[in-house]
Chain A
């Protein structure tokens, strides 16, 4: 009878997941499973709600990428209203989306994963975090904070709030962009681009140190899926959903009408996870494994379509080939996409029509079914709604970015565990690598199971005050003189 190692709580990711590693009698890894441990059941409990409430309800799936849910949802609602939204509205939605991807990619790269590259996979776990980066590489930590702020501030300027704004609505957005807000966002793009340039340089400079990780971090052939323009440019807000299989020499499916997604994407269940496992239907389950997100999008696209991102993409492909497959390169792809997003924001803000006052189409229910597809930071996000003629929701299906990567993440943790974990002596660094491959995918486990979990953030004061609990929960002045100081 072999042993089992459990990583009860994968750290430095959004949401809750765990990993079980099964060892055989010789202490070798037999199999590895990635569990997602929450489910909320949005698809069921939204039944009966008015369809136009869906954007604000489903945005609550996630506090990191609520904008993606808002956009997929309003696109599904546009389809139910059967309207073509005003040009300015689609420019503004795309602008908002780019800002969100920048902030989310900054969080993934700097706050969550950089501790592994900069401090080392085997470094002291007590320091291997954003605080450790602040202490040892303060300029990099400050870059991360500033880049995330750039994205969040742009969202706030456009939509009024950083998280869960109510600006995007079925039919468009609910207010036009002012020229002062446009100028304010434009004044900050230069700094954002220079931060991304530095991050790219930094990441490329550490690549040689991670040969073993590159070799084993989900370094397996899969198909890829992502949105593209008709000429193959990277698209994030709207586009053709393309499946690519490098083994077949390129594109294997183009989905132009969002309603057709269900002919290509099926959903399987893994008995060990609340996260379902979508698969490419024509190949069956689980053979129809594919990946989404930054690495997949850059493989699916022919080019980004903006100058500096394309120059970076050229260097990336020169070094790694046309279809890099190690999940370690998700990080690299993420930075190139961040550059694309900032450049794209500049292009959008330079469009004269982005200031148009007409930003919303109004209509009632004109179709009983609608699908909205957008690229969340982590990959394709699909909202599919069916409604009664009254507009009450009859049925919903949500396929979230992280789900598409579920089969691939399970394969990847197994590959890493087999490469690094030996049963005779388990070291922390081995288990950190198993978690680091999960981080590379930047999963959002809150999103992925539409589950909102306990995500406690705990802070220990350096000079604890024993009476603090009583202080806070009793009378107003009882905390006076309580020595809760830092040292």
Chain B
């Protein structure tokens, strides 16, 4: 949703692209032959892992967007804790009624939350927490203009 902070520039951007998947559009499954994907978040569950692989297989330019996707950042703070202990803290110790770790129709957690690039090849990183709207806009307009994005001075971690 950081993309929305480009404000009115959004209007100019959507005139030049088709939004084919993501939180703003009604597409339940990842489509084939996508040009550019911006992926947020660390890879934390088997579901994330599968989706990352699907995206990679069907996408030309894969961009990791934000510090969580780039470094796994805050989600990786759980990595020193065994998954079983973490889940029991939340769903057994942390429950007053019907305690138990949910298993029905939810993906299992990976042992560690990892950066996107640990799972699939990433073509470009846009760090930042959040990534600056100007950096996102620069990358998208550069790609649309057929230029290589130059993020020097536009991004930082945190």
Residues of A within 8 A of B (CB): 7-9, 11-14, 16, 18, 20, 33, 35-41, 43-46, 57, 60, 63-64, 107, 111-112, 115, 125-126, 128-131, 134, 141-142, 145, 148-149, 152, 162-164, 266-274, 276, 279, 281, 284-286, 397, 432, 451-462, 464-466, 468-469, 471-473, 476-486
Contacts and interface: CB of A to CB of B under 8 A. Distances in A.
A466 B35 CA distance: 9
A192 to B, nearest CB: 14
Contacts of A266: 96-97
B90 A486 contact: no
Given A63-B130, A455-B40, A456-B37, A41 B61 contact: no
B48 A163 contact: no
Contacts of B27: 11, 125
B102 to A, nearest CB: 5
A34 B86 CA distance: 23
Contacts, number: 290
Contact of B36 (A37, A279, A458): A458
A466 B61 CA distance: 10
Contact of B94 (A20, A43, A63, A479): A43
A271 B100 contact: yes
B58 to A, nearest CB: 9
A472 B39 contact: no
Given A285-B96, A460-B35, A453 B44 contact: yes
Contacts of B107: 37
Contacts of A129: 19, 24-26
Interface in B99-144: 99-100, 102-107, 109, 113, 123-124, 129-130, 140, 143-144
A464 B60 contact: yes
B154 interface: no
Best-buried of A46, A141, A461 by chain B (most CB within 10 Å):
A461
Given A459-B37, A471-B148, A130 B24 contact: yes
A457 B3 contact: yes
Interface of B: 1-5, 7-8, 10-11, 14-31, 33-45, 47-48, 51-52, 55, 59-61, 65, 68, 73-75, 77-78, 80-81, 85-87, 89-91, 94-100, 102-107, 109, 113, 123-124, 129-130, 140, 143-149
Nearest to A6: B105
B20 A271 contact: no
A466 B80 CA distance: 42
Contact of A40 (B8, B44, B59): B44
B90 A276 contact: yes
B4 A41 contact: no
B55 to A, nearest CB: 6
Contacts of A18: 105
Contact of B144 (A272, A452, A457, A486): A486
Contacts of A276: 90-91, 94-95
Contacts of B59: 458
Nearest to A60: B74
Contacts of A432: 26
22 contacts: A11-B23, A11-B26, A12-B23, A35-B105, A44-B85, A130-B14, A142-B8, A145-B10, A148-B4, A272-B102, A276-B91, A285-B96, A451-B44, A453-B44, A457-B23, A458-B20, A458-B34, A459-B35, A462-B18, A469-B123, A479-B147, A479-B148
